[in-house]
Chains A and B, each alone.
Chain A
Amino acid sequence: MQGKYKATFWLSVVLVALLLLVPALGSKYLVDLTTEIMIYALFALSLNVLIGYSGNISFGHAAYFAIGGYACAIFLTTYEWPLIISMPAAIVLAGLAAAFVGYFCIRLTDIYFSMLTLAFGMLVWAVAFKWRGVTGGDDGFVGVAVPEFIGDRYAFFYFTLTVVALSTGLLWLICHSAFGRTLVAVRENRMRASFVGVDTRRLRLTAFVVAGTFAGIAGSLFAMYNRGVYVESAFWTESGQVLIMTLLGGLYSFFGPALGAAVLYTLQVGINQYTEYWPVVLGTILLIIIMFLPNGLVGLAQKISAQFSRRT
């Protein structure tokens, strides 16, 4: 292994070990919260392939989360397929949907891209909303037939931890691969990249599909965790929220978005106990990040540690 990545590797091992110990703390509430955070962390990490690594701002990422969720729920429940087929099929479906939408979106740049991803995201929402017979419409798809071996809170926690850890590892590899490096180059200067022989369009499409696929994984976990899927998870504010998680953590670091997800989600759960006006709080947090923390929490930490090391 490269010396460069050694620290990352051991830190990840420690983190996974700590997570494994969470159920031992004896708090059901904490186990649930951790499960939810892990799912959102994966969701935010998947989005960052697009935002941080390729510089394409998708405002419709919730669509693939929702497609993964609905598909997994429907395959498990309506078709009674086993998990080993349902979940991969749902993930592939999310990836295919991303490929279809991506084909239209990546032909355009910046402003158009964001508008179009949002429009497509809302298309998915509209279909989920209207297609009552299949999705349950605004009542949601309830009573997902979760397989027995992960039916219990603790079993599902370990299942989620395994899936999220493996997915994160895979995402990490993709972001640090030859592809990931080229993706950053395309973000930095698309024209230059095309003049060293990179098919920038296909590269961005690939990133779009990767992001959609991993969002699909997060979505299918979420559907099973909640034993239901609701149209709200496809709504554009959901896409906005995961974007804020990513930004809060820090776009230009691999793990930043996961940290952002943990912080923002915990905050949301906390604040929801006191007020129904979470959006106004979220909006204010967002304004603060924009004005004062452009590089997110990770950027802030780097700044502080730089200051500290200068002093000593």
Chain B
Amino acid sequence: METVLEIKQAYKAFDGFVAINDVTIDLKRGEKHAIIGPNGAGKTTLFNLITGHLKVDRGSVTFEGKEITGTPPHRIVKLGLARSFQRINIYPRMTVFENVQVALIARDGRSFHLFTLGHALNRDESAELLALVGLSAEAEELAGELAYGKQKQLELAISLASHPSVLLLDEPTAGMSPPETVEAIKLIEEIAEARGLALLFTEHDMGVVFGISDRISVLHHGELIFSGAPDRVREDPEVRRVYLGESHGAA
């Protein structure tokens, strides 16, 4: 299968603390690839390196055959790589509708149109995206006043607005109740299927991870200690030792 995203020998340190050490990882087109690891393993840092929020000290990031190391986040998004965040990341004092509309305005390169009224732009598509994630009824509410689970859905809609081919999801079910988790994962799977999205995601719920992943990679202390099919990850002695063994009780 074709590789869409490739991280090669990435290395990142903060003040002498090595957060990501020589990590090589890739993502195939349409694949669902989970990255797991104990807290502080470097998952979020890895995401920040991919999306351009942080810059690798060494190594490279390639997306759709194009090297994007050191490219600012807003350009990377335009290439078709979107992300959602662990902590809720929306525009609280704008309406739900506007939250999505702004993303569409950006995708169409109209963010700098000073003399085009914003109100009328991308209305149909905004409505479609909201319908897709089930937020049509809340379109005119302030995003900050939505319930937690709905804010997560809104975030997903914002991420989808840029028509990505790859979606990075950082803990998509964090803070959700078990029924909400089931709903959210179902939604994500459906959308990924329908749009042919490749997913790279971190997730603490092992049920979710083993349920939907095509591949699982394990990070530990900033190093990649395993990458392979879900049925093999359970058998890997190294993974059992550093991760599954100690976290069964905790997670």
Q: Taking the complex as formed, is B184 at the interface, i.e. its CB lies under 8 A from any CB of chain A?
A: no
Tell me how far the C-beta of A7 lies from the nearest C-beta in chain B, rounded to whole angstroms. 14
- Tell me which residues from 196 to 216 in chain A have a Cβ below 8 Å from any Cβ of chain B: 196-200, 202-203, 206, 210
Chain B residues with CB under 8 Å of A185's CB are 91, 94, 98-99, 102
Contacts A177-B117, A178-B110 supplied; 10 other A-B pairs, CB < 8 Å: A173-B114, A176-B119, A179-B118, A180-B114, A181-B119, A182-B106, A185-B102, A192-B91, A194-B77, A198-B111
Q: How many residues of B contact A (CB 8 A)?
A: 41
Once bound together, how far apart are the Cα atoms of A173 and B117, in whole Å? 7
At the interface, yes or no: A85 with Cβ under 8 Å from chain B? no
Q: Mark B residues whose CB is within 8 Å of A.
A: 51, 53, 72-75, 77-78, 82-83, 85, 89-94, 98-99, 101-103, 105-107, 110-121, 158-159, 161-162
How many pairs of residues, A versus B, come closer than 8 Å at their CB atoms?
121
Please state if A203 and B82 are interface contacts (CB–CB under 8 Å). Answer: no
| In the complex, A4 has a CB within 8 A of chain B | yes
- Asked if A178 contacts B91 (CB within 8 A), the reply is no
Residues of B within 8 A of A177 (CB): 113-118
The one of B73, B77, B82, B118 that contacts A181, using a Cβ cutoff of 8 Å = B118
Q: Are B111 and A182 in contact (CB-based, < 8 A)?
A: yes
Query: Given the known A-B contacts A188-B93, A192-B158, are A179 and B114 also in contact in the complex, defined by CB atoms under 8 Å?
Result: yes
- Which residue of A176, A181, A199, A210 contacts B105 across the interface (Cβ within 8 Å)? A181
Pair B114/A197 contact, Cβ less than 8 Å: no
Q: Are B117 and A179 in contact (CB-based, < 8 A)?
A: no
Closest to B118 in A: A181
What are 6 residue pairs bridging A and B, where the CB atoms are less than 8 Å apart in the complex? A174-B115, A181-B118, A182-B105, A185-B98, A185-B102, A188-B91
Interface residue A189 (Cβ < 8 Å from any Cβ of B): yes
Residue among A174, A181, A189, A199 making CB contact with B98, cutoff 8 Å: A181
Contact A199 B72 (CB under 8 A): yes
Contact B116 A178 (CB under 8 A): yes
Closest Cβ neighbor of B144 among chain A residues = A188
Q: Which residues of A contact B106 (CB under 8 A)?
A: 182, 193, 196-198
Chain A binding surface SS class = helix
Q: How far is the CA of A222 from the CA of B102 in the complex (A)?
A: 37
Q: Mark A2-43, 1 if CB is under 8 A from B, else 0.
A: 101100000000000000000000000000000000000000
- A195 to B112, Cβ gap below 8 A? no
B101 and A174 form a contact (CB under 8 A) = no
Q: In the complex, what distance in Å separates the CA atom of A198 from the CA atom of B101?
A: 13
Instruction: From A194, A203, A206, name the one whose CB has the most chain B CB atoms within 10 angstroms.
Output: A194
Interface residues in A154-201 by Cβ distance below 8 A to B read: 173-174, 176-182, 184-185, 188-189, 191-200
Which residues from B are CB-within-8-Å of A188? Answer: 90-94
Closest chain-A Cβ to B20's Cβ sits at a distance in Å of 20
Judging by beta carbons under 8 Å apart, are A178 and B105 in contact?
Answer: yes
Residues of the B chain whose Cβ atoms lie less than 8 Å from the Cβ of A252 = 93
Q: Given that A2-B119, A181-B101, A197-B77 are contacting pairs, would A203 and B112 also be in contact in the complex, using a CB cutoff of 8 Å?
A: yes
Does B119 lie within 8 Å of A196, measured CB to CB?
A: no
Choose among A5, A176, A184, A199 the residue that contacts B91 (Cβ–Cβ < 8 A).
A184
Q: Is the CB of A180 within 8 A of B118?
A: yes
Q: Let me know if B117 and A176 touch, CB within 8 A.
A: yes
* B113, closest chain A residue (CB): A178
Give chain A residues whose Cβ lies under 8 Å from the Cβ of B113. Answer: 177-179
- A81-138 with Cβ < 8 A to chain B: none
Q: A2-B119, A178-B118 are in contact. Are A193 and B102 (CB under 8 A)?
A: yes
Q: In the complex, which residues of chain B have a beta carbon less than 8 angstroms from the beta carbon of A202?
A: 112
> CB distance B111 to A179 under 8 Å?
yes
Determine the chain A residues whose CB is within 8 A of the CB of B158 once the complex forms: 192, 196
Knowing A2-B119, A177-B118, the reply to whether A197 touches B74 (Cβ < 8 A) is yes
